[in-house]
Amino acid sequence: MTLLSVRDLNVTFGTPEGDVRAVQGVSFDIEPGETVAIVGESGSGKSVTANSLLRLNFGADVRISGEILLEGRDVLTMTEDEVRSVRGSDMAMIFQDPLTALNPFYTVGRQIGEAYAIHHPGATKKELREIALNSLEKVGIPEPLKRVDQYPHEFSGGMRQRIVIAMALVNNPKILIADEPTTALDVTVQAQILELIAEMQAQHGSAVILITHDLGVVAEITERVMVMYAGRVVESASVENTFAVPTHPYTRGLLKSVKSLDTARHERLEPIPGTPPSLIKLPSGCPFHPRCAFADSLGGRCSSEAPELRIVGSSRSACHLPDERLLGLMGGAS
């Protein structure tokens, strides 16, 4: 059975300015042990999607519809207690900012132990401490015996992210959701953390949903990529295809605007013009059309009709362009 199956997820926040349609019609499957990236610019709905999986979207007026089937059980229709038993045990989460993610008032050992104790009510104090020590050691914190009784502020950002990871893995989750786990870190520390996540995944066999805006990070450790734009999945493909044969103009734009270590000096970048749309007043039809270089070539279709995800080559793309053109996007002809 598919481990996680998200079907037609819609999330809308009611705000005084109007309804924010943060996620629209998102569907995807996660198989055991695989690594899937969700990529997109800020505000594209990545975090809202991730939070929905654990029902962590809070707010005065949150409207969610669709299905989130974890081994066949719909997270969205579970009781509060049922969701709680899923959180941190079947699906665990790592947040972006390690500096604020740990409770400043308790020692890291206690917090790791707590993560275990919540789902293992019988555990003794001694067991919990043992578990905390082991976890710290596993994620590469030196001197765990001394460190286990220290408070979060006594650790650097990179170490705190290691501790958050230790905590997330303490119950052997089937799915690890990492929401921009390295965005707040330096490149050298980012490399450490990505390596750790990959290592831990190999050990635990968890599936990983990695959220990021950095295509470089995607290429490093994932197998499959979903590109989000304005609350929708616009392309879904293997990581190789995403980079070699992107099948959506937005993905192409992202790739073209990334600077790489070997772009020559003063080689011109090709930015995507304009800015991402407001989710309160989304453009009609394809939400990307005001910024898309290809929109004109399709007459008025892009601004009147919203494209659905469909199979293009071995990828899936939500664009009206004919398949041949989508498969030749990187070839130049625009």
Partner 1 sequence: MFAVVLLLIVSAFTFWIFSALPSDPAALTCGKNCRPEVIEANRERLGYDKPLVEQYGAYMKGIFAGRTYGEEGASVHCPAPSLGYSYDRHECVTSLIASTLPVTASIALGAFVLWMAIGVGLGTLAALKRGRWQDRLATGFSVVGVSFPTFFLGLMFIMIFVIWTGILPFPRYTGITENPVDWFMALILPWFVLALISAATYVRMTRNGILEVMNEEFVRLGIAKGLPRKRLIVTYVMRAALVPIVTIAGLDFAFLLGGALVTESIFNLPGLGKLTLAAVVNSDLPILVATTMVAAVFIVIANAVVDVLYGYLDPRVRVK
Partner 2 sequence: MNTDLVLEARGLRKYFPTGASKMLQRPTDVVQAVDEVSFGLRRGTTLAIVGESGCGKSTLGRLLARLIEPTAGSVLLDGKDITKASSRELLALRRDIQVVFQDPYACLNPRHSIGQSIGTPIRIQKTLSRADEKARVRELMALVGLNPEHYNRFPHEFSGGQRQRAGIARALALQPKVIIADEPVSALDVSIQAQILNLMEDLQSSMGLSYVFIAHDLSVVRHIADQVAVMYLGKIVEIGDPTAVYERSAHPYTKALLSAVPVADPKGAGERKRIVLSGDVPSPVNPPSGCRFRTRCPKAEARCAAEEPLLIERESGHQVACHFPL
Residues that bind ligand SF4 (CB under 6 A): 249, 286, 288-289, 292, 294-295, 298, 302, 307, 319-321
123 three-class SS: coil
For helices 157-169 and 125-138, what crossing angle results, to 10°? 130
Least CB distance to ligand SF4 at residue 324 (A) = 13
Enumerate the H helices of the chain as residue ranges: 46-53, 80-86, 98-101, 108-119, 125-138, 144-147, 157-169, 187-204, 215-221, 239-244, 249-257, 301-304, 323-327
Pattern 246-285, binding to ligand ADP, x per CB under 6 A?
---------------------------------x------
Burial class (CB in 10 A: 0-12, 13-18, 19+), 174: buried
260 binds partner 2 (CB under 8 A): yes
**Residue 104 touches which member of partner 1, ligand SF4, Mg ion, none, C-beta under 5-8 Å by kind:** partner 1
253 binds partner 2 (CB under 8 A): yes
H or E stretch at 207: strand 207-212
Q: How many residues bind ligand ADP (CB under 6 A)?
A: 14
13 binds partner 1 (CB under 8 A): no
Q: What is the DSSP string of 152-186?
A: GGGS-HHHHHHHHHHHHHTT--SEEEEESTTTTS-
Q: What is the DSSP string of 43-92?
A: TSSHHHHHHHHTT---SSSEEEEEEEEETTEEGGGS-HHHHHHHBTTTEE
Backbone angles phi, psi at 298, to 5 degrees: -110, 20
Give the separation between CA 182 and CA 191, rounded to whole angstroms.
Answer: 9
**Residue 22 touches which member of partner 2, Mg ion, ligand ADP, none, C-beta under 5-8 Å by kind:** ligand ADP
51 binds Mg ion (CB under 5 A): no
Least CB distance to ligand SF4 at residue 234 (A) = 7
The only residue of 22, 23, 102, 225 in contact with partner 1, by rule CB under 8 A: 102
**Residue 289 touches which member of ligand SF4, Mg ion, partner 1, none, C-beta under 5-8 Å by kind:** ligand SF4
Residues within window 294-333 making contact with partner 1, judged by CB under 8 A: none
Which residue, among 257, 258, 254, has the nearest Cα to 242 in the 3D structure? Answer: 254
Residues within window 5-64 making contact with ligand ADP, judged by CB under 6 A: 13, 15, 20, 22, 40, 42-48, 59
The only residue of 47, 190, 222, 315 in contact with Mg ion, by rule CB under 5 A: 47
Residues within window 156-215 making contact with partner 1, judged by CB under 8 A: 164, 167
**Residue 243 touches which member of partner 2, ligand ADP, partner 1, none, C-beta under 5-8 Å by kind:** partner 2
Nearer to ligand ADP (CB atom), residue 53 or residue 131: 53
**Residue 101 touches which member of Mg ion, ligand ADP, partner 1, none, C-beta under 5-8 Å by kind:** partner 1
Give the separation between CA 238 and CA 261, rounded to whole angstroms.
Answer: 23
Least CB distance to partner 2 at residue 221 (A) = 8
Terminal Cα-to-Cα distance of the chain (whole angstroms): 42
328 three-class SS: coil
**β-pair partners for 211:** 38, 179
CB 193 within 8 A of CB 158: yes
**Residue 93 touches which member of ligand ADP, Mg ion, partner 1, none, C-beta under 5-8 Å by kind:** partner 1
* Contact positions vs partner 1 (CB under 8 A): 54, 56, 60, 80, 84-89, 92-93, 95, 97, 100-106, 114-115, 118-119, 151, 153, 164, 167
